Amino acid sequence: MQDFLQQTLSGRAPRKRKGETAHLHWQWLDHGILLMEPKEKALQAMVISAGIHGNETAPVEMLNQLLLPLLNGEKPLQQRLLVILGNPIALKAGKRYMHYDINRLFGGRWQQIVDGDEAHRVLHLEQAVETFWQACEVDETRWHLDLHTAIRGSYHTRFGVMPQSDRPWPPAFLDWLAAAGMEALVFHRAPAGTFTHFSCEHFAAASCTLELGKALPFGKNDLSQFSAAQQALAALLYGEALPDITQRPKHYRVAQQITRKSESFVLHMGSDTLNFTAFPQGTLLAEDGETRYYVQQAREYVLFPNPNVALGLRAGLMLIEEGEQTQALPL
Query: 3-state DSSP call for residue 132?
Result: helix
Let me know: does 98 contact 90? Beta carbons within 8 Å.
yes
CA–CA distance, 77 with 75 (Å, rounded to integer)? 7
CA–CA distance, 161 with 254 (Å, rounded to integer)? 10
List the one residue out of 64, 109, 56 whose CA is nearest residue 84: 64
Angle between helices 227-238 and 171-179 (to 10 degrees): 130
Dihedral pair phi/psi, residue 223, rounded to 5°: -70, -15
Let me know: does 210 contact 162? Beta carbons within 8 Å.
no
Listed in sequence order, the residues at least 6 apart from 265 whose beta carbon sits closer than 8 Å to its beta carbon are 286, 287, 288, 307, 315
Indicate which residue of 211, 290, 300, 321 is catalytic.
211
Residue 67 amino acid letter: L
Active site residue 56: no
Enumerate the active-site residues.
Answer: 211
